Amino acid sequence: MTGNLRTSSYVGASVPFAPILPADDYLHPVGPDAHFTAIETNLYGFDIPEHAINCNIYLLWHHALGTMSLHIFVHKGQRILPHQLAADYFKEHLYLPAVPDIADFTVQAGSMTYHSRIIDPLDDILIEADDPSRNFALRLRYRAALPPVGRPGGKHFTQLLKTSGELVLDGESYRIDGHYMRDRSWGYNRPEEPERTPPYRWMTGWIDDGKGGIHKSFVIAWIDTGMLDGAEFGPDWHSHVGGADGSGANKWESGGSTPSLNLRSGWISVDGIARPVVRIDTRTLFDEDSRLLVRGFAVDIEDDQGEVHRFTASTIAMIPKMYWQNLVTYMHFMELSCDGLTGHGDLMDSFGGHHIRQFGL
């Protein structure tokens, strides 16, 4: 494989995980003075690796505005999608009336009916979607594969889930039987303005143990200072930026402590127990024709017990998702390996206009 190889390293302190309660799987109240950017989110999805199928589901509540948004997209095949609308199934509605309770709710998003029920918080969740006009249907059950891991600062957690169910895509049925990393947040503001920092990267991964369980899994988030050329994107980037952006603070975080300026958060599970991440060494192989498209990736992850875990990954497919009109996220569906075992995960790289202007797509 040929391309543009970039490397970078980040170290930081061991930051304790925030406690997560079963009540955190439900909507959180906001005060009457809440800013209009106050949010609550649920990110779900699933993979069917044998058919190169990847799905992402995202719900975002704007409590102060009384609205919510919902997207579901599914893409199939080993391919680089040129646009989010090139997905085999794509449905997104940005202005829906917010449901008052998410224990058991149904949303009508155009031709698609979406239903979700929390059977047992943090442990058992059901999602169903039907769009007969598109020959699309989804029956998706989640059960906890690991306890949730609270992001430092609270109001945010990630959790590895066991997936099961059935997908009907273009009238053809597929069995769902795998894992996926959920992400949930609440209680802080998420403005749409992009931060003036190097690209923000977020990666999840899980390695199967060959017996239906999990060998290792991880979530890491970092500001990549080795990805793009230019002083404003390099290791000393913060000296070129004033205000909150210079601290690395960004819309994906609730404001808690981070391991360091550029290593924003991370955990890795060993024997089912999550450990804080204190160092990552990354090697990214970019496509020959794009400074943003990743073809291969490798990372050494050091946990707070001094153990180093080495993962390699190759891109199966990529979809450029526009979570907002002024931000695009290159969502890479990846095959991973570690310790001679294989698994899967997602690499999500987010870019604003100051990245695209200089480096294109």
Hey, what are 280's tokens?
Answer: 């990552």
Q: What per-residue confidence (pLDDT) applies to 153?
A: 87
Q: What per-residue confidence (pLDDT) applies to 2?
A: 64
CA gap 334, 202 in Å, rounded: 13
Residues with Cβ within 8 Å of 93's Cβ and at least 6 positions away in sequence, in order, are 69, 70, 71, 109, 110
Q: What is the dihedral of CA 32, 38, 40, 43, to 10 degrees?
A: 170
Residues with Cβ within 8 Å of 328's Cβ and at least 6 positions away in sequence, in order, are 320, 321, 322, 350, 351, 356
Question: Exposed (0-12), middle (13-18) or buried (19+): which is 338, by Cβ within 10 Å?
Answer: buried
Q: What per-residue confidence (pLDDT) applies to 242?
A: 80
In single-letter form, the type of residue at position 259 comes to P
CA gap 277, 208 in Å, rounded: 20
Question: What is the Rg, in whole angstroms, of the alpha carbon atoms belonging to the chain?
Answer: 19
Q: What per-residue confidence (pLDDT) applies to 3?
A: 77
> b/e for 288-317, b at 16 or more Cβ within 10 A?
eebbbbbbbbbbebbbbeeeebebebbbbb
pLDDT tens for the 361 residues of the chain, in order: 567 999 999 999 999 999 999 999 999 988 889 999 999 999 999 999 999 999 999 999 999 999 999 999 999 999 999 999 999 999 999 999 999 999 999 999 999 999 999 999 999 999 999 999 999 999 999 999 999 999 988 999 999 999 999 999 999 999 999 999 999 999 999 999 989 999 999 999 999 998 888 999 999 999 999 999 999 999 999 999 888 889 999 999 998 999 999 999 999 999 899 999 999 999 999 999 998 999 999 999 999 999 999 999 999 999 999 999 999 999 999 999 999 999 999 999 999 999 999 998 8
DSSP string, 26-42: S-----TT--TTEEEEE
Contacts of range 161-166, beta carbons closer than 8 Å, 24 or more positions apart: 161/44, 161/125, 163/46, 163/47, 164/140, 165/46, 165/138, 165/139, 165/140, 165/141, 166/137, 166/138, 166/139
Q: 183-198 pLDDT, tens per residue?
A: 999 999 999 998 999 9
DSSP label at 247? G
Q: What per-residue confidence (pLDDT) applies to 210?
A: 85
Please measure the distance between the N-terminal and C-terminal CA atoms of the chain and give it in whole angstroms.
Answer: 20
Q: 148-185 pLDDT, tens per residue?
A: 999 988 999 999 999 999 999 999 999 999 999 999 99
Residue indicated by tokens 């906001």: 30
Beta bridge partners of 318: 80, 332
Q: What per-residue confidence (pLDDT) applies to 258?
A: 96
Q: What per-residue confidence (pLDDT) applies to 244?
A: 83
CA gap 41, 221 in Å, rounded: 18
CA gap 346, 188 in Å, rounded: 24
In single-letter form, the type of residue at position 264 comes to R
